[in-house]
Amino acid sequence: MAYKQLTEKGKEFIKKTIINYGSGVFTGRNKYAVPYTTIPQGTNITSKAYDDNGNQTTDPERFANLVIKWIEEYSKQYGIDANIISAQQFAESGMKPWNYSSTGAMGFTQFVLSTVVEWIFRGDSRFSNTEIQALSLGINGDLKRVETFITSKSQSEQYNQIRLENRTKLFQNIVDNPKIMIKAQISLMAYISNRNNRIAASTLFAYNRGSALTSESYVDVIVKMANMFKDKDRTKKYGREYTIEGLEYVNRIFTLLNNRYGYNLDLSINDNATKEVNIRTQNS
């Protein structure tokens, strides 16, 4: 998967999506509360959407142009297809920096806690001190430990309150800094791509199912995931469902690329791949 700049159709899709939200691109809430935080259900979440100079962005059109700029800047730097990155962002968050999931994914790129800690806070020279400080503002404890953000039934109320506050501050910092999170997404995708023979489908599957996966082909990465559960009777069903979710993610991104970014990708890729996967797993 080599670098490709955003298509004109893709740029128009980004602009139309973000501008049509109006102020809703910066402020909103879901039907459920932000999990693992002190934020009460029904609270509107507001993103400051800081620009390159650390100033709050309040104009949707300006934010759309910044998103395009950041996607192209980091996609070129890391040698990745900018259209795939943008399609992921729409699929993950709808391009709303305030967004969150019921299971704990956060912000414009919907990173989960473990990925934030492992990829950003443990990223050594991957991110600058300024970027780390922006995401860790107000947090108490070791940023490189997931436990800094997780409560425990065996710990005291004070211990757990600190963890809840840390998670709340982390969430807000992520929401306020879509630029940093776009960089994080693109750099992680590039890392995964290099471990999966730079094949788009394989990279997307591994991004969704497990960044530690490595492969030479799309069939190869699916087989590796399927085989993780093959000999575990109590997890066979879970393993199958987990693998299927990855296939559906690839199909969703490819469909978006065709419909919104002017691509013409073969959507039968999963059918063809799974036939070969079935042959390999049955014979192995």
Contact predicate 98/264, CB 8 Å = no
Helix intervals (H) in the chain: 8-21, 60-78, 82-93, 113-115, 129-136, 157-176, 178-195, 200-209, 218-227, 236-260, 269-283
Q: 200-209 and 218-227 helices cross at what angle (nearest 10)? A: 20
What whole-number distance in Å separates Cα of residue 253 and Cα of residue 6? 15
CA pair distance 126, 83, nearest whole angstrom:
23
Which string of DSSP letters, residue by residue, matches 149-190?
Answer: G---TTS-HHHHHHHHHHHHHHHHHHHH-HHHHHHHHHHHHH
Residue 134's closest CA among 101, 172, 167? 172
What is the model's pLDDT at position 279? 79
Per-residue pLDDT tens for 256-276?
Answer: 999 999 999 999 999 988 888
Q: Measuring CA to CA, how many Å separate 243 from each of 47, 75, 173, 196?
A: 34, 27, 32, 17
The Cα 37–Cα 166 span in angstroms is 8
Q: 4: closest CA among 189, 178, 128?
A: 189
Residue 234's pLDDT is 46
Low-confidence residues of the chain: pLDDT under 50: 234-235
Task: Supply the pLDDT for residue 209.
Answer: 92
Tell me what pLDDT residue 278 has.
79
Hey, which residues does 45 pair with through a beta bridge? 28
Residue found by looking up tokens 């690839």 in the block: 250
pLDDT of 79 reads 98
Cα torsion angle, 189, 195, 199, 203, sign: negative
Q: How does DSSP classify residue 266? A: -
Q: Which residue has the tokens 């490595």?
A: 214
At 64-103, the pLDDT tens digits run 999 999 999 999 999 999 999 999 999 999 999 999 999 9
Which conformational region is residue 108 in: left (phi greater than 0), alpha (psi within -120 to 50 degrees), or beta?
A: alpha
